[in-house]
Structures are given as C-alpha cells and as structure tokens.
Amino acid sequence: MTISELLRARLARLREAMRCDALLFASGTNSRYLTDFDFHDGYVLVTASDAYILTDFRYIEAAKKAAGSDFRVMMLDGGLAAQISPILADAHVTALGYEDRALTCARLEQLKRDFPLLRFEPVGSLVDDLREVKDEIELSRVEAAQRIAEQAFDQLLGIITPEMTEREVALELEYRMRKLGSEGVAFDTIAVSGTQSALPHGVPRDVKLERGFLTLDYGAVVGGYRSDMTRTIAIGSVTDEMKKVYDTVLQAQLAALDAIGPGKTGAEIDKIARDIIDGAGYRGRFGHGLGHGVGLQIHEGPRVSSGGTKPLVPGNVVTIEPGIYIEGKYGVRIEDMVVIREDGTVNLTRAPKELIII
C-alpha cells in the first residue's frame, strides 16, 4: 500500500471509532500519525466526511506538498475559531472531540468561549489505541531506525576505550546515528558505567568509564518512528557474581522472548522474566516493567508490565528489557524490540547479546 492509502485507512479507522461529530487534534504526535506531516504549530480537524490541516505561513507550503489527497490544507489566518467556524457549521457539528491528554486547560477554555453552543467531548486514548497497531510502513520505519542504532553500536565497539568519558560514549553513538541517517535521537542517550550502571535511567557524566558494567540505552529515528535497544558491556574484568547477574538477565529476557506472542498479555510475559530474576536471588532488584510499546513516541502502548492486562495483537511493537540493579555496585539491562505477528513474533534487534568485555 502507498502512504496515501495507509493514511486513508487510518482516517477510516478513526471515523469508525469516533463518538462525536468531529475531532480536533493539537498534539504533534497524533497529527503526524494522521497526516504523516511533521509539524507542531497547528491543528488537524476531522469531520465525518472531510479532513483538514490548519497551520501558519511557516509550514503551509510544506503541508501542501506532504498532505495526502484526503486532507485540505488551510492557513491559520485570523485565528483557529475564525477558520473552523464555517467548517463546523457546514458539517452540522454539535459535539467536538478534543485531546484531553494534550490540550491545555487554557486552550480548551478559549475554545469553549469561541464556541459556546458546542459540546466538547474528551477523546481519551482514542488515537493512542489506534497507534498501538502498526501498519507496514510504520514497521519498516521502526526497523530502519533499529538498523541504524545497531550499526552505531558496531562502530562504537571499534573505537571505545576506558579513557573515554560516559558523555563521550553517548555523543559518539548520537553522532554515528545521525551520520547513518537518523533524524535525531529517540530519547536522551544513556551511557553509564560502574556504580552508575545501577541507575536504570542514569545520566552520562564527564568522567572516564569506570571498570565494570557499561549500560548503553539509546535509539534512532526514521520518518518520526523510534527504535529502542539496550546493551550492557564490561570495561575490564568481571567477577563471578557479575557474570551471574548478566546471565540471569539474559536468561530472563530469552524466556520472555520465547513466550511472547499474540493473545498473551504484558502482565503474563512480565511475570515470566520477573520469576526468573526473583528465583535467582535478586527479588526487588528489577524495579521497572519488562517493556513498553514503541512508535512515534518512545513510550506508548501496549504495556508489557504487571499492569499490562490487554492481550497483545498483531502489529504491536514492544520492548523486552529485564534488568537487575544493585545499589552502589552495578546494574545490567538487555533490551530488544519485537513485532507481534499473526503466527508469533519477529525480533527486530540483531545486536549480539553475549557479554562483551573491553
């Protein structure tokens, strides 16, 4: 399918799920999902029969080039209310859905003043739920981002030395991903060593790499879609206890990867990995969920954690990232991304998982 056909299909799914006369989107994430146009200063308006991109002069030309045939592009001239009033009137809109998770209270109150006769309906997770199931173009972009991240990892292994700082390691990964074609970083790169590796979301420091574990958690971006991977390597020698921690995390991840598939819940998969870690004597050392959805945002649905009660379905892209963190000593996390398919899963992550010692 072409991108225009996929965008038409997304609009059709949205209209089928909407429970009001029209929907107004202000968040850049949902607007990009519906239009495949990257902009953050404007709106998308969807009625039962039409769809509109409303933006200002800075983006109007780009919007016209990017918009599919199902979208009309209009310049915001005189304010949002003046622009959409005739559209809402012609479509006989009495109830307007809005993104209660993204629209500010001030903006909502202004809309209520501008349209006192309209009923405003919060849409909650309506679009977030639709975004959980990726189409083939979305999957291809996530996979392309992952290939970039892996190439950057391979290149880093060829140059990394104990004399580098954590910040230098993070910057090398980011530079190499950008040079390989990434639009940016999927999130703030994590590169933490030694005792700092015990912090699941530690911040890279201007200090030379400590001996022990070095955790690298990072991702690339292609077409707005993100990748997410974690590899833990070692600087210098490792003790028997460190090997046990690493092997336990790897065993937990492999068991979860083997069990995950359509129809399973995130909670069920989380328990498999957690039971292995707890059974090895590390109860309480795995303090976060096993994984999460990835797409236009680095953390989105579905949840792969104790709270993930929704069965996984084909098209979901989720991470599997167990970890063990021992305060004041070290931590290990290993993370892959998988796609749920009709007949099982596809692991998008190809980077090696055996313990690499630098």
Tell me the average pLDDT of the chain: 95
Residues 172 and 270 both lie in one domain: yes
pTM of the model: 0.95
Q: How confident is the model at residue 59 (pLDDT cuts 50, 70, 90)?
A: confident
pLDDT tens-digit readout, 151-185: 999 999 999 999 999 999 999 999 999 999 999 99
Q: How far is the CA of 279 from the CAs of 36, 248, 251, in angstroms? A: 46, 10, 12
pLDDT tens-digit readout, 114-148: 999 999 999 999 999 999 999 999 999 999 999 99
- What CA–CA distance (Å, rounded) separates 71 from 334? 42
User: What domain range includes position 52?
Assistant: 3-131
Residues 201 and 124 both lie in one domain: no
| CATH code assigned at 236 | 3.90.230.10
Last residue of a domain, one of 72, 96, 131: 131
Q: Show the tokens assigned to 213.
A: 């574990």
Residues 112 and 152 both lie in one domain: no
- Within 10 angstroms of residue 202's Cβ, the number of other Cβ atoms is 19
Residue 217 has pLDDT above 90, yes or no: yes
Per-residue model confidence (pLDDT) at position 13? 95
pLDDT tens-digit readout, 14-35: 999 999 999 999 999 999 999 9
Last residue of a domain, one of 92, 116, 131: 131
Residues 142 and 24 both lie in one domain: no
Residue 50 has pLDDT above 80, yes or no: yes
Tell me the backbone φ, ψ of residue 191, rounded to 5 degrees. Answer: -145, 95
Per-residue model confidence (pLDDT) at position 321? 98
CA angle, residues 301, 302, 304, in degrees to nearest 5:
125
Per-residue model confidence (pLDDT) at position 41? 84
Residue 254 has pLDDT above 80, yes or no: yes
Q: Is 62 domain-assigned?
A: yes
Per-residue model confidence (pLDDT) at position 17? 94
| CATH code assigned at 16 | 3.40.350.10
Residues 92 and 199 both lie in one domain: no
Residues 124 and 108 both lie in one domain: yes
Residues 116 and 194 both lie in one domain: no
Last residue of a domain, one of 89, 113, 131: 131
Per-residue model confidence (pLDDT) at position 92? 96
Q: Is 353 domain-assigned?
A: no
Nearest of 13, 30, 22 to residue 121 by alpha carbon: 22
Residues 52 and 142 both lie in one domain: no
Q: Is 215 domain-assigned?
A: yes
217 and 226 Cβ atoms separated by less than 8 Å: no
Residues 164 and 257 both lie in one domain: yes
Q: Is 357 domain-assigned?
A: no
Q: How far is the CA of 24 from the CAs of 52, 73, 226, in angstroms? A: 10, 14, 25
Per-residue model confidence (pLDDT) at position 39? 84
Please report, in angstroms and rounded to a whole number, the separation of the first and last CA atoms in the chain. Answer: 45
- What CA–CA distance (Å, rounded) separates 63 from 71? 10
Q: Is 258 domain-assigned?
A: yes
Residues 160 and 125 both lie in one domain: no
Q: Is 352 domain-assigned?
A: no
Residues 62 and 176 both lie in one domain: no
Tell me the backbone φ, ψ of residue 22, rounded to 5 degrees. Answer: -155, 160
Per-residue model confidence (pLDDT) at position 65? 86
- What CA–CA distance (Å, rounded) separates 26 from 175? 32
Q: Is 12 domain-assigned?
A: yes
Residues 306 and 198 both lie in one domain: yes
Q: Is 354 domain-assigned?
A: no
**Domain count for the chain:** 2
Mean pLDDT of the 191-205 span:
97
Q: Show the tokens assigned to 39.
A: 């902009």
Q: How confident is the model at residue 77 (pLDDT cuts 50, 70, 90)?
A: confident
Tell me the backbone φ, ψ of residue 114, rounded to 5 degrees. Answer: -70, -30
Per-residue model confidence (pLDDT) at position 79? 86
Per-residue model confidence (pLDDT) at position 241? 97
Q: Show the tokens assigned to 50.
A: 């039409």
Residue 68 has pLDDT above 80, yes or no: no
Per-residue model confidence (pLDDT) at position 152? 98
Provide, rounded to the nearest whole percent, the portion of the chain with pLDDT above 70: 100
Per-residue model confidence (pLDDT) at position 306? 95
pLDDT tens-digit readout, 300-357: 999 999 999 999 999 999 999 999 999 999 999 999 999 999 999 999 999 999 999 9
